[in-house]
Amino acid sequence: MRFPESISRKEYEQITQRSLRLFLSVDIVNSTALKEEYREKGQSWLEIAHSFYTKFPSMLASALDPNPRMFVSTPEVNPWKAIGDELVFVARIEVMDEIPRLVDAFRSVSNRWNRDYEKSEVVVKAAAWLAGFPVANSVIPGDAPERFDFTGSSIDIGFRLCRFSSPRRFVISAELAYALTTLEAELAGDLRYLGREPMKGVLRGRSYPVFWIDMFASPDLPAFAKIELLEERVTGASPKPVKPAETREFLREWIASTGGGISLPFPPGKADPRFPIPENYDEQEAAKLSEFEREFLSESGIESNDGTDPDEDVFTDFTNRLKPPKKEP
Amino acid sequence: MKISDVFGDPPVGKKSPLPKPVSTGWTKKFIDELASKMAAEVGYRSGEALEPIVNELGGKVFTGTVPETGSTGYLEVEEGGEFLIALSPIPGTYRNNFTIAHELGHYFLHSKLGEKPLFATRQAGDRAEWEANWFAAGFLMPAEEFVEEWKKADGSIGRLINRYQLSGGAIEIRKKTLEELGYRFG
């Protein structure tokens, strides 16, 4: 495997396109301890891992199968990375209203997995985040032609957010919570707030507002979820829903306060008045494109034979200039 | 401002009133050959350190932090011909060697060896930048010698990286360019 230092003009145009992507992560809870347990019991972890890698994507594809009643349009959701016992999917967003539908489908699929596998104690937890390209985040050439990778602050934050998730807490990024509340999506009614959490190494150590979607505020739950909800009825202590309008206002101000570290999401193509393009975006984008061109583009559009050779003898002229000045007598 | 001032304490987010490089309009082949001749003329042997050559020409190389040098560094040629090449530490030695030669390209082609003051920041997309790249490739990897080295290395990019102290990308592009210019690699 080798990452390219330079790419073609066509690839350059692909990677510098304005785009918005939704990342969806699912991770096996306590996988390290579980592996150990499986080994001690003489059971096959490989079988679990294999099912997870193959069945979860199929379940997701099946849940996203275009259904005119459910979806205005269905963007493709592709696996991006498998990192140990975590799978990360990515979808390119064209229309903002697609976002809550995808997130909700991901919640249903994760719950379904948990229903199917709770007896084997292999339960999963989910997280999701939005990332805008090419300013705050970058698409970079991957390890093969036409394969791309993603990097940037929204993605770093997304991976760090995963540690706050649990089979109940579907943790989402501030930009995603902002999008859901702005869309006044039904899903925003299932939003909960964990509070500010320190995030080492991102946004200059600023504490980050962690929001989550209640996995249990959904039909067809696994047994462990139903029991937990019943217990909550006894204690009366259940996580409070947030107020969507206030959440939106808070997040708009908080995101602005990061000084461009992260920015408000907007659709890349057709303008959506609910998600205007941030001020100065064009300027930032031009600077970023120039950076990409310098970093990755191997050749410009200039052909080898473009240009005119000089009439004068440049070589002799340059050589004479190279000669050290005559010393003062 | 003198280079010594800049060298001692480079300003953050360096900006300069000096003009940007203006392209020569010369062909790639001409610039390539000119660069190889200039390398021989200043006594540069491929794979060796470039800093002594820069010093010999009246310049200095400075590797600073990103806030000091900008993300890619810059070249400043002052009135009188002294010049400073500021490098970012991030790309590492191989890519910085190419950058030093790229800045020498501006120094030769666009400053006419110090005659015209200028300030270059490696802004992409401009013909003057490509000319500096062509110069760098010709200066660091003269054509005939490169073809021989390629044959000797028998397809090992690693060996050529060690030989030229340049990145694999620069070496691969050099091969492609020379093929376009009609050189044969066996």
CB A255 within 8 A of CB A174: yes
Q: Mind listing the pLDDT tens digit of every residue in chain A (329 residues)? A: 566 777 777 778 888 899 999 999 999 998 889 888 888 888 888 888 888 998 999 999 888 876 555 555 678 899 998 988 999 999 999 999 999 999 999 999 999 999 999 988 899 999 999 999 999 899 988 777 667 889 999 999 999 999 999 999 999 999 999 999 999 999 999 999 999 999 888 888 789 999 999 999 999 999 999 999 999 999 999 999 999 999 999 999 999 998 878 899 999 988 999 999 988 888 888 878 877 777 776 554 455 567 888 888 999 999 998 876 544 44
Q: Reduced to 3 states, what is the DSSP secondary structure of residue B63?
A: strand
Q: Would you call A6 and B169 a contact, using CB atoms and an 8 Å cutoff?
A: yes
Average pLDDT in the B14-27 region? Answer: 87
Which residues, listed in sequence order, are joined to residue A91 by a DSSP beta bridge?
A22, A77
pLDDT of residue A145: 65
Cβ atoms B107, B75 nearer than 8 A: yes
> What pLDDT does residue B5 have?
45
Please tell me the distance in Å from B21's CA to the nearest CA on chain A: 16
Please name the member of A4, A293, A302 whose beta carbon is closest to the beta carbon of B124: A293
Task: Determine the Cα angle at B70 with ends B64 and B73, to 5°.
Answer: 70
- Residue of A36, A232, A213 lying closest to A128 (CA atoms): A213
The C-alpha of B150 sits at a distance from chain A's nearest C-alpha, in angstroms, of 19
* A315/B170 touch (CB, cutoff 8 Å), yes or no: no
Of A232, A235, A237, A251, the C-alpha closest to A191 is A251
Q: Least CB-CB distance to B173: which of A6, A304, A319?
A: A6
Give me the pLDDT at residue B111, please: 96
Contact A107, A213 (CB under 8 A): yes
CB within 8 Å: B115 and A309: no
Interface A–B counts its CB contacts (< 8 A) at: 75
Contact check, Cβ <8 Å, B28/A293? no
Residue A280: predicted pLDDT: 83
CA distance B108 to B57: 10
| Least CB–CB distance from B130: residue in A6, A300, A322 | A300
pLDDT band at B31 (very low <50, low <70, confident <90, very high): very high
d(CA B120, CA A5) in angstroms, rounded, equals: 23
For A28-58, what is each residue's pLDDT tens digit?
Answer: 998 889 888 888 888 888 888 888 998 999 9
The dihedrals phi and psi of B120, each to the nearest 5 degrees, come to -120, 135
A130-147 pLDDT tens trace: 999 999 899 988 777 667
Closest chain A residue to the Cα of B34, Cα to Cα: A315
Max intra-chain CA distance, chain A:
104
Res. B121 pLDDT band, cuts 50 70 90: confident
CB contact under 8 A, B173 and A299: yes
Residues of B (146-185) whose Cβ lies below 8 Å from A: 167-170, 172-173, 176-177, 180-181
pLDDT at B112: 95
Tokens of A131: 């990332």
Nearest chain A residue to B179 by CA: give it: A304
In angstroms, what CA-CA distances link A56 with A102, A219, B17?
15, 19, 59
Residue B113: band (very low, low, confident or very high) from pLDDT cuts 50, 70, 90: very high
Q: ipTM of the assembly?
A: 0.84
pLDDT confidence of residue A105: 94
Q: Which of B26, B129, B176 sits opposite A310 (nearest CB)?
A: B26
Interface of B with A in 32-61 (CB under 8 A): 34, 37-38, 41-42
In this complex, which of B38, B130, B169 lies closest to A5 when CB atoms are compared?
B169
User: What chain A residue is nearest to B27 in terms of C-alpha separation?
Assistant: A307
Burial of B5 (0-12, 13-18, 19+ CB in 10 A): exposed
